[in-house]
Amino acid sequence: MGKQATKSAQATRTNLLNVPYGDGEGEKLDIYFPEAGSEGDSLGVSNLLQFSAIALKRKHVIVQMRRPGLEVPRSRGLCVMCKDESAFMVNPLTAQGVAVVVVAYDIAPKGSLGRMVDQVARSVAFVQKRYPCNEGIYLCGHSAGAHLAAMMLLVNWTEHGVTCNLKGFFLLSGIYDLEPLVHIFWKEPLLLTPEDAQRTSPQWLLEAAPRRPADPACHVLVIVGQYDSPEFRRQSREFYQGPHRSLAQMFSEPRTLCRGGWKASFEELQDVDHFEIVWKLTQKDYGLNQIILKTIFQDGL
C-alpha cells in the first residue's frame, strides 16, 4: 500500500527527493509540489523545480513524519515504514495546492528517541528556512510519528535559529505517554528506560513547554480510529482532555491540551482501525483528507 502510493506520487507529482536536512545518512526528506492548475499553484510545473522557493511563497506546507520503529498494535511488535513507503497523502493534498514534505530519520536501534526528536525538529526548521515565505506549516504524524509531531509542541525554535510558521498539528492514533511502553521496549531495539519515557512523553512535558505557539490560532487535532486498540484510544483522548481524576490529581498530574490553553479538537474517525486511518489518505474523498484541507484553508483565510 505505502510503496504503491509513493511510486504514484513520485511518478505524477513534481518533486525533490532525498533532500538532506542534515549531515546524517538518514537525514533526508522528500518534497512534493502542488499540482499545476491547483488552487495554490502560481507557477507552471516546468518552473517548480527551478523556482521552488518562489513557487512555495503562496503555498501551505504539510510535513509528514513517517513512522519509526515504535509501533504497538495488537502484536506488540515493531513495524518499520521508511520514507519511501509513506507518501499516502501526497496526491490528494497537492491536487488542492498543498506542498507535502515526507521526513525520514534514524530508527532504532541506530536512533534513540532523543535523536529522533532532534532530527524531526531540525527537519522542520530546515523547511522553514528553505521556504521562509510559506503561508503555514502543518505537522502530521501517525502512531509513533504522532508522538514525534506532538514533541514539536515543546520545541524552542529559537535554538534552531528560526521562527517556525506552525499553523497546525494532525496527530493520528498516537502515543503521548511512553511509560506504559517501558516494559515492552526495555530491551532492544529502543532500550527504553523510565527516565527516557519521562523525557520524551509530550503528555508529561506539556507542563514545561517554553511557550505557546507564536500563532495563537495554531490548531492541534487529535484523531483516533473507531477500531484502534484501547490504549491508542485512551492515550488520544487523555492527551486531548485529560483522564478522569480528582481535584488533587489535577495539580499533580500533567496538563493536557485543553487545560494547557491550546486550540485543540478531538475526532474519532468511524470504521477505521490503526492502519486504515492512514492507508485511506490516498483517497481524495476520505473524511480525514477533508478535515485536513478544511483546517488548512480555513486557517489561511
**Which residues form the catalytic set?**
143, 228, 274
Detail the DSSP E strand segments found in the chain: 15-20, 28-32, 60-65, 98-103, 136-142, 166-172, 219-225, 263-269
Would you call 128 exposed, middle or buried from its count of C-beta atoms within 10 A (0-12, 13-18, 19+)?
buried
Contact of 289 with 281, CB cutoff 8 Å: yes
What secondary structure letter does DSSP report for 208?
Answer: G
Q: Report CA-CA distances (Å) from 135 to 69, 132, 167, 171, 271.
A: 32, 9, 9, 20, 33
Instruction: Tell me the C-alpha distance between 88 and 120, whole Å.
Output: 19
The reply to whether omega before 132 is within 30° of 0 (cis) is no
For every residue of 81-139, DSSP letters joined together read --GGG--TTHHHHHTTTEEEEEE--PPTTTS-HHHHHHHHHHHHHHHHHHSTT-SEEEE
| Residue 15: DSSP 8-state | E
Round to whole Å and give the CA distance between 94 and 98.
5
